[in-house]
Amino acid sequence: MVTDVTSVDTSPRALPRFEFLAGRLSLDFCNSLSQATGGDRLAEPAALAGWAARLGRPLERMPTEAETAGMRSLRGHLLQIFDAVSEGVAPPQTALNALAASGGLGAIELHWDEAAGRAAVRASGGALAGLRHDIVADAVALLTGTALARIKRCPNHDCRWFFFDTSRNGRRRWCAMADCGTRDKVRRFRDRHGAGASPAF
């Protein structure tokens, strides 16, 4: 919780403070491209490797340019799909076809996880293939599930981050209350009380 409003940096550049807040892997993946600034966290192989490491899924080697471009292409299809879904309209069939054909759900290995006491799925072909598989699997699970209305975008125009609303009443509005929610609170307060005023949190 922000206690000192003077410390709230409202510049669009500072957004978002929270990189992995979507609650679903496929939505966090979409959020690697800023819809507000065009900033791309998968712009080149080293950037993709850094993103994967921050996600907690470090790659065992530097991805190639082609692999990185393939991830951006997958993300492009997912953005088209979730963009439509979050607006409550049908996603383009071409994007659904591209997702199905993306190869993300290709060969898998099943192995027994002794610690967990259950089977685990592992994509053949290393950490990036595994990550790609999990992103596609998560997107397919979301799209074929019954909670599509909970796929939302932050209404802050400097943000537009996707997130999966797990709140009980399904009325979560902001990507993060401590970020865009606070900015909105400050802005509405200043609309009422003048530009220099600060709310007491």
Contact 27, 163 (CB under 8 A): yes
Residue (129 or 154) nearer to Zn ion, CB: 154
Neighbours of 145 (CB within 10 A): 10
Work out whether 156 is an interface residue with Zn ion (CB under 5 A): yes
Contact 125, 190 (CB under 8 A): no
Work out whether 31 is an interface residue with Zn ion (CB under 5 A): no
* Segment contacting Zn ion by CB under 5 A, of 56-64, 75-83, 130-138, 147-155: 147-155
Work out whether 180 is an interface residue with Zn ion (CB under 5 A): yes
Work out whether 22 is an interface residue with Zn ion (CB under 5 A): no
* CA–CA separation, 143 and 83 (whole Å): 12
Q: What is the 3-state secondary structure (H, E, C) of 26-67?
A: HHHHHCCECCCCCCECCCCHHHHHHHHHHHCCCCCCCCCHHH
Work out whether 27 is an interface residue with Zn ion (CB under 5 A): no
Q: How far is the CB of 40 from Zn ion (least distance, A)?
A: 18
The site for Zn ion, by CB under 5 A, has a size of 6
Q: How far is the CB of 195 from Zn ion (least distance, A)?
A: 22
Work out whether 175 is an interface residue with Zn ion (CB under 5 A): yes
Contact 53, 46 (CB under 8 A): no
Work out whether 81 is an interface residue with Zn ion (CB under 5 A): no
Residues that bind Zn ion (CB under 5 A): 154, 156, 159, 161, 175, 180
